[in-house]
Amino acid sequence: MMNSPLAWEMLILVSDVGIPRAQYPFKIISAMAKQGKYIKFSIADAKGSNAGGYVLTVENLKKEIGRYNDVIYLKTDSKLRPTIPIYVFGNIFSISENREK
């Protein structure tokens, strides 16, 4: 294995989960990852939003080369959407030492 640095590629780093519509309000009650092996996440109320909303922050924990995927399930108080799945994909790869700058 080469001693080159690793690069982390995340499709989701910080995402607006959603602003509840006035006619379909909801609150996020809890969040859990299906596996949680390679990610750490937090969810917070969006500041500065009069209509409400949330910000989901996902952090990569995987240190080895390879791909992974996971799902974060947001449990809500909505009867229409009691669970909102957020799909997370990661791809860790080596940056070639011979790469042109």
Sketch the domain layout of the chain as residue ranges: 8-92
Q: Which residue has the tokens 């989901």?
A: 56
Amino acid at 59: E
Would strands 83-94 and 28-33 be described as parallel, antiparallel, or unpaired?
A: unpaired
Domain covering 8-92, topology:
Immunoglobulin-like (2.60.40)
SS3 13: coil
**Global pTM value:** 0.73
Residue 21 has pLDDT above 80, yes or no: no
For residue 12, what pLDDT band results from cuts at 50, 70 and 90? very low
Range 15-52 burial, b when 16+ CB lie within 10 A, else e? eebbebeeeeebebeebebeeeebbebebeeeeeeeeb
Residue 27 has pLDDT above 70, yes or no: yes
pLDDT of residue 32: 95
For residue 33, what pLDDT band results from cuts at 50, 70 and 90? very high
